[in-house]
Amino acid sequence: MSEPSLLLDGITHVYVTERGASLAVDDITFAIHPGEFVSLVGPSGCGKTTLLSIIAGLIKPTLGDIRVAGKEAGKPSPRIGYMLQQDYLFPWRTILDNVMLGLELHGKADDTRRKWILHLLDELGLLPVRDSYPHQLSGGMRQRAALVRTLATEPDLLLLDEPFSALDYQTRLQLEELILDILKAHKKTALLVTHDISEAVAMSDRVLVMERGPGRIRHEIRIPDPIRAAGPIEARELTGFHPLFHEIWRELEDPDRKEGRP
């Protein structure tokens, strides 16, 4: 079997502030395999963003190991793309200049990459607005631009922290569909944080449910093939969809419920 794209082993993180130390995530261990799409759901404050920041190399965990494609990770790297909830586009740069930024920072802004970016902008319907400024675009267009910027450096692993939360429902569904198509076409591995259970079930191969205080993984749900094979909009119509939704809902709703204990 090939190396996992991402391997977390015993990740534990304690935040230390002037008010004391708090255990944010405790002994998180899981792997994500090449091409897999995994979602992380859990109550606010359970450590989802902390975990993504640790994987992206922005926070050094107190304990534990991270491996990306078999290699020790823990430093920011072009192999890992991190898309935050806010789009963080620079208002004074055009869309094209914004999405080129990652390549410029990594010194990779050559002709081949430029063509790849124009191709991505085209795939996401942004070619006509490439010379516009972020404020001239809708929220959905800005999110798509942020996605192009994340994909620009051709990362093997994408970390998406509630990338659709600012969008209206219809745009959100369209973008879910589009992103999944692009990730599958380019065989990317992804870890998505979302508060939307439907989104997690509709997009993922697996859903990890976290609990709070301290943040731990309490449950893992494998999404069955028919739902995985369907697009995110179609998946929501399938008979197997609602039982999965409710299973995750119950896990999130009842903080005392433990696996094997009804």
Where along the sequence are the contacts to Mg ion (CB under 5 A)?
Answer: 48-49
What does DSSP assign to residue 3?
P
Nearer to Mg ion, 42 or 140 (CB): 42
Q: Do residues 176 and 164 touch, judged by C-beta distance below 8 A?
A: yes
Partner whose binding site includes residue 2, from Mg ion, ligand ATP, none (CB under 5 to 8 Å by kind) = none
Partner whose binding site includes residue 50, from Mg ion, ligand ATP, none (CB under 5 to 8 Å by kind) = ligand ATP
Binding ligand ATP (rule: CB under 6 A), the pick from 28, 46, 141, 167 is 46
Nearer to Mg ion, 48 or 188 (CB): 48
Q: Do residues 215 and 26 touch, judged by C-beta distance below 8 A?
A: yes
Q: Work out whether 50 is an interface residue with ligand ATP (CB under 6 A).
A: yes
What does DSSP assign to residue 223?
P
Q: Work out whether 194 is an interface residue with ligand ATP (CB under 6 A).
A: no
Partner whose binding site includes residue 47, from ligand ATP, Mg ion, none (CB under 5 to 8 Å by kind) = ligand ATP
Q: Do residues 83 and 147 touch, judged by C-beta distance below 8 A?
A: yes
Q: How far is the CB of 208 from ligand ATP (least distance, A)?
A: 12
Angle of CA points 190, 195, 200, to nearest 5°:
45
257 burial (CB, 10 Å; 0-12 / 13-18 / 19+) is middle
CA distances from 19 to 26, 44, 46, 50, 161 (A): 20, 20, 19, 19, 27
Q: How far is the CB of 21 from ligand ATP (least distance, A)?
A: 9
Listed ranges 44-52, 70-78, 132-140, 227-235: which one lies at the site for ligand ATP (CB under 6 A): 44-52
Listed ranges 38-46, 180-188, 229-237, 244-252: which one lies at the site for ligand ATP (CB under 6 A): 38-46
Nearer to Mg ion, 49 or 204 (CB): 49
Quick one: which of 50, 48, 113 has its CA closest to 78?
A: 113
The pair phi, psi for residue 252, each rounded to 5°, is -80, -30
The pair phi, psi for residue 90, each rounded to 5°, is -80, 125
* Alpha helical stretches, state H, the chain: 48-55, 95-105, 111-123, 139-152, 169-185, 197-203, 225-229, 232-235, 241-253
Q: Work out whether 48 is an interface residue with ligand ATP (CB under 6 A).
A: yes
Partner whose binding site includes residue 39, from Mg ion, ligand ATP, none (CB under 5 to 8 Å by kind) = none
Partner whose binding site includes residue 239, from ligand ATP, Mg ion, none (CB under 5 to 8 Å by kind) = none
Nearer to Mg ion, 49 or 189 (CB): 49
Nearer to ligand ATP, 40 or 145 (CB): 40
Under the rule (CB under 6 A), what is the footprint of ligand ATP? 15, 17, 24, 42, 44-50
